[in-house]
Structure 1
Amino acid sequence: MLVQIVEIFKLNFTLEWRRKQSFLGVVLYVLTTVYLAYLVFSGVITPEVWNALFWVILIFASLQAAFRSFQNEADRRFLLYFGMVKPQVLIIGKTLYNFFYMFSIGLLATLVFTFLLGNPIASPGAFISILLIASAGFSAILTFVSGLAAKAGDNPALPAILSIPLLYPQVLTLSKVSIRALTGFAWDINAPLLLVLSMLAVVTCLLSYLLFAYLWRD
């Protein structure tokens, strides 16, 4: 099973490398939106606005990236996968790939924000940890929704419609805990919020793992 998961991960990486314009499109989106924020705020921005803009831009960049998770799988390739791997293997491999993808985009966004809008992050270690947990939760939800959209005719509006309500609990918790990483983070005080955020990520991963098998057989 582990070998098949690695192969799915490598396949997605290879397909993404072959069409680099997709990744570059997400990078361009991050650069242009952050630069637009720089022009609007003239480079002067409060930590609260910095935090809000960061997560809004990262969420929509993740939506763009995750929507293509099953774009290469036409009906015939779904049938091919059906005979080769279990649905759990496919969803884990794609979720892992999207996790690394979204975490990389998050690091890029952090660097661009820091360069153009200043660096208000008081606790970099805490902020990176929050970004890791957020990437895990985002990738689980958005990968599953992407598979659902692919089965429903690959409607480009469907991932955004379905994923925004599902992401809301994570985004609400993220906004509370990440602003503390910017203004001063105490691990003992904020441990409950980090635990809640981690549990949300674990629950979404488990639900994606369990429900994808039913979607696969449809």
Structure 2
Amino acid sequence: MKKKLVVLTGAGISAESGIKTFRDSDGLWEGHNVNDVATPEGWHKNPALVLDFYNQRRKQLKEVQPNLGHQILAELENEFDVFIITQNVDDLHERAGSSNVLHLHGELLKVRSTKNPNYILDWQDDLNFGDFDENKNQLRPHIVWFGEEVPALEEALTLTQSADYFAVIGTSLNVYPAAGLIDFTTRETPIFYIDPKPIKIPNLRNPLEVIPMRATEGVAFMKEKLLNQMQ
């Protein structure tokens, strides 16, 4: 029976494919204040700006490719039951071949009704005013904005609690509730923490291996470590 590897990924793994993050030093997301494009207040204030912003992100996503970090995580399914919990809204994990991907913060290639959160559609092109659900309600990006509930959190907690190995890759561990998942691992679960600028994780009792590398290098290093432990 395969061991379960649960992986929490953040913007750092997608950044190596060319997708920028608002956690860059300027605090902006592609030149925009996050309050303008990633909050319910921003949507109500200027929905045209928000629609255009995500339309541009959708176009950008078509121009980038999964990197070696994404690919190795997919390859690890040969040896482990791999479950990826990602804070990223891109589809790079899926395009690399990962089978089990849970998006905490929504998906760029989906939209949903402004009135019915369970009305969700796959969406590849621009989203415009006048794009409605079946009841003539405007559609919006299927993104969990700041201040909104995280519907996938309960499933993420269940996965985390059942992990034989847990990995944190390319996330600042500053965005909650995602950053708190690490506290729900069982105490004996080994944790791999991959980040070029790792922070100190307070009150952690698990076996911890800090890998101060970018995602592409660190995931390859972690794979070797995991395979050696299986021998």
TM-score by length of 1: 0.30
- Bigger share in helix: 1
**When you count strand as a share of all residues, which structure comes out higher?**
2
Q: Higher relative contact order by CA 8 Å / sep ≥ 6: 1 or 2?
A: 1
